[in-house]
A = this chain, B = another copy of it.
């Protein structure tokens, strides 16, 4: 089974995993990594490598990060991939993405699971008023600008 590591600023990674487990029940081979205020990027990379080690298998590990462009993503990605770790990295983690990869990780290979994460993460983002076709309470008349 493909392992999953969630990396984020503060403690959001752990709480996001708990949110998913509230819906799906306790999950195996999934670990959070927290970037704290005091932590430099090298320490973060070491923490991610430890977490990857905890859930590694022949199928590899999918790393879901909070924010493209920051040390939680780009520095980690460049470091682990250049070090030969069998990982894929998807940024912008949200609950639909996490639920999707937890459901699909026994059926897809690592590269396809990363693509599925991107697709289902994006598809879970919706303007709910539009999707549910809820009657507009004259948004435009009051809001100006």
Contact = CB atoms under 8 A, between A and B. Distances in A.
Interface of A: 8-12, 14-16, 18-19, 22-23, 37, 58-60, 65-68, 70, 73-74, 77-78, 81-82, 84-86, 88-97, 99, 107-112, 114-115, 117-118, 121-122, 124-129, 131-132, 134-135, 137, 139-140, 142-145
A30 to B, nearest CB: 15
The count of identical subunits is 2
Contacts of A70: 23
A122 to B, nearest CB: 5
Contacts of A122: 122, 125
A86 to B, nearest CB: 7
A78 to B, nearest CB: 7
Indicate the member of A22, A60, A127 with the most B CB atoms within 10 Å.
A127
Contacts of A107: 145
Contacts of A81: 129, 134-135, 137
B135 A91 contact: no
Nearest to A83: B137
Given A19-B66, A142-B86, A124 B10 contact: no
A12 B9 contact: no
A11 B15 CA distance: 6
Given A10-B19, A90-B125, A111-B143, A77 B134 contact: yes
Contact of A92 (B74, B86, B125, B142): B125
